[in-house]
Amino acid sequence: MSIDAASGATASSMAETAASRKTIADNFDTFLTLLTTQLKNQNPLEPLDTNQFTQQMVQFTSVEQQLKTNEFLEALVLGNQSAAATVYSAANQAVGLIGKTVVAQSNISELQDGQASWTYTLGADAPEAQVTIRNQEGAVVYQQQMEMSKGQGTFEWDGQDESGLDYSNGLYSISISAVDDSGSPVTVLTQVKGEVTSVNLTGDEPVLSVGNSRINLASVLSVTQTEQAAAN
C-alpha cells in the first residue's frame, strides 16, 4: 500500500472513530436521562433493580475505552506515516540530483589533476584576507595573502605549494580569514561545486557524492544542469 493510500485509510478510520464517539456520547446522555427519570418516578415499595443499569454503564465505559485505544493507535500510525513520507520525499529529491551540478556549503574540495576549487561568499570587502589549505591530516599545504571583494567568488588551487611542490590528488580543506578596512573580522562562507555522481540513503539524511566529497542534502545551496548534459 502506498503512503498516500495508507494515509487516506487512516484518515477514514479516524473519521469513523470520531463518529462512533459522538454516537456513544449521545446514547450515554440519553441513558443517564432515562435513568434519572426512572429513579425519580420509581415506586418506593418496589425499587428498580440496579443490576441492569450497572451492566449498561460498564458496557458504555468499555466501548469508550476501546475508542480511546483506537485513537491512540491511529495517532501512532499517522506519526510513522508522516516520518516515512518525509524520508521518501528527501530520498526522491536526492536521487533527482544525480547528474546535476550542485553548490553546497562545505570547506572540502577534491584536488584532481592539479585542479581544486572552492566557492566563497564574503559579507563585506576584505582588503586583507588569508587563504589556508590543509590536507586530510590537517597539515597546511598552501597559504596565500590576497584582497577579496564582497559577494561571491571562486578560489582555484593548482595543487602546488609556494615552492612549486605538487601535491597528490585527494581531499583538501580551505579556511579563509578576512578583515575589513577597520580591522573587524568579515564573515566568510565556503562552498564546493561539482557534479553529483551517486546518493547514499542508508543514514538519517541522504548523502551526495560529489567527486570524492560527501555532502549532506541539507547543505545544498543551488542546483544547475551539468554543462555537458545541457549541451547534449
pLDDT, tens digit, 9 for 90 and up, residues 111-133: 888 888 888 889 999 999 999 99
Indicate the pLDDT class of residue 1, thresholds 50, 70 and 90: very low
Handedness of CA 156, 158, 161, 163 (dihedral sign): negative
Last residue of a domain, which of 95, 111, 137?
A: 95
Residue with cell 450515554: 28
Q: What is the pLDDT of residue 111?
A: 87
- What is the per-residue pLDDT for 83? 54
Average pLDDT of the chain, as a whole number: 76
Q: What is the domain-level CATH number for residue 159? A: 2.60.40.4070
Q: Torsions phi, psi of 3, nearest 5?
A: -65, -40
Give the pLDDT score at 118: 86
What one-character DSSP code corresponds to residue 166? B
> Can you tell me the mean pLDDT for 214-232?
74
Domain boundary among 79, 95, 111: 95
Name the residue range of residue 212's domain: 100-231
| The pLDDT value given to residue 212 | 64
Give the predicted TM-score (pTM) of the model.
0.51
